[in-house]
Amino acid sequence: MHEAMLYDRLDQSRAGCNICRWRCRINPGKTGVCRMYENLSGRLYSLNYGLPSSMAVDPVEKKPLFHYFPGSSVFSMGSWGCNFKCSDCQNWQISTAGEPAVSSREVSPEQAVSLAQQYGCRGIAWTYNEPTMWFEYTCDTARLAREKGLYTVYVTNGYMTIEALDTLGPYLNAWRVDLKGFRDDFYLNWCGIRNWRGILETAEHALRRWGMHVEVVTNIIPAMNDDEEQLCSIAGWIAGSLGNLTPWHVTRFHPCDKMAAGGSTPLETLEKAVKIGREAGLKFVYMGNVPGNRHENTVCFNCSGTVVERDGYRTKLTGIAGSKCKYCGAELNFRMGQEGV
Ligand code: SF4
């Protein structure tokens, strides 16, 4: 087991975890809400370090990240557990695990970086479950990955504390964050958390303090977060706080986990969300989980030229020059390797 990086030693041998906004106060012999950090005699340990649940080579578009090294492959790693309890979790087999499976094969940070290079990946992403669940491992691996010229990505629910982000910030390039809704009752009832506005603070910090590339995903669930009020609030916040060149992915919900009996998001709802995003001033609103839809390509907002064509995970760069439109020179917020990775 690996000692946690960010915790306070409290009275009566309790440990105060500072990795995510739950800020669990954990008694000896107990674990935090996520069940991936355990207090042993007053010291906090990660139960997950170097124990992936899953590893794969993915197109970066699958994260989804559309404006970050488009067309590149990313070595993707997931672990166990989660600090949310979302009713629509696609990966509930790993996110609801109380502990790493006994069959987990240990993969050191050095081995992870080596595997990424061996498979020709440009970067490493922590994804599939919430990356803060093995925060120490992602820090160690990200530092090594950056030394070797690989980019690094968190696919996250965004509930990390500012001090955790400041610990990881020097080694992390991209923050792909879910903004699942925009109301207290939604986050409480659907995800089981309070203080969800911390997600906004951390995302802004990722962008402004650390210069990370940020893309936002909202999975639109019928009767839960598909009302105009929440969609307008999300789009307005992205445009106002992260900037109108920030990509927003509105994705189709498909029944799963505890919602197995419900229906998929109607296409009209997704079209409505795209329209709301555009009316809020967002220049790049993408529709996801709908194969072949007309909102997958990147079209320059200034000259209407198609600069990236996408078909599923096939990507063709047709009009990008650096971060700009090749046809008219408009800034399109792409990162193509200019940051030295
Ligand atoms: S990472 Fe886990 S133990 Fe730490 S504060 Fe969050 S839920 Fe609690």
Decide which of 94 and 10 is more confident.
10
Output the average pLDDT for the chain: 94
Residue with the nearest Cα to atom 3 of ligand 1? 32
115 pLDDT more than 90: yes
Mutation to probe ligand 1, out of 2, 18, 24, 48 (largest number of atoms < 8 A from CB):
24
338 pLDDT more than 90: no
Residue 340 pLDDT: 45
Per-residue model confidence as pLDDT tens digits over 59-72: 999 999 999 999 99
CB 160 within 8 A of CB 110: no
φ/ψ of 125, rounded to 5, equals -120, 140
Report strand pairing: 306-311 vs 314-317: antiparallel
Residue 285 pLDDT: 98
pTM to 2 decimal places: 0.96
Number of alpha carbons in the 13 Å side-chain half-sphere of residue 221: 22
102 pLDDT more than 70: no
Section 7-16 average pLDDT: 98
Mutation to probe ligand 1, out of 7, 19, 48, 136 (largest number of atoms < 8 A from CB):
19
Report strand pairing: 248-252 vs 213-220: parallel
Token pair for residue 297?
A: 């390509």
Collapse the DSSP code of 240 into the 3-class scheme (helix H, G, I; strand E, B; otherwise coil) and give the result.
helix
Find the 158 Cα to ligand 1 centroid distance in Å.
Answer: 13
Residue 98 pLDDT: 73
341 pLDDT more than 80: no
Task: Tell me how far CA of residue 161 lies from CA of 78, 132, 169, in angstroms.
Answer: 20, 10, 12
Find the 32 Cα to ligand 1 centroid distance in Å.
Answer: 5
Which homologous superfamily is 54-294 in? Answer: Aldolase class I (3.20.20.70)
Collapse the DSSP code of 319 into the 3-class scheme (helix H, G, I; strand E, B; otherwise coil) and give the result.
coil
155-159, 203-207, 261-265, 291-295: range with lowest mean pLDDT: 261-265
Find the 230 Cα to ligand 1 centroid distance in Å.
Answer: 27
103 pLDDT more than 80: no
Alpha carbon distance 65, 60 (integer Å): 6
pLDDT class of 334 with cuts at 50, 70, 90:
very high
Per-residue model confidence as pLDDT tens digits over 228-282: 999 999 999 999 999 999 999 999 998 875 555 678 999 999 999 999 999 999 9
- Listed in order, the ranges of the chain carrying CATH 3.20.20.70 are 54-294
Ligand 1-lining residues (CB < 6 angstroms): 17, 19-20, 22-24, 32-34, 36-37, 83, 132
| Residues in the chain, overall count | 341
Per-residue model confidence as pLDDT tens digits over 296-320: 999 999 999 999 999 988 999 999 9
Section 208-215 average pLDDT: 98
Number of H helices, E strands in the chain: 8, 19
Residue with the nearest Cα to atom 6 of ligand 1? 20
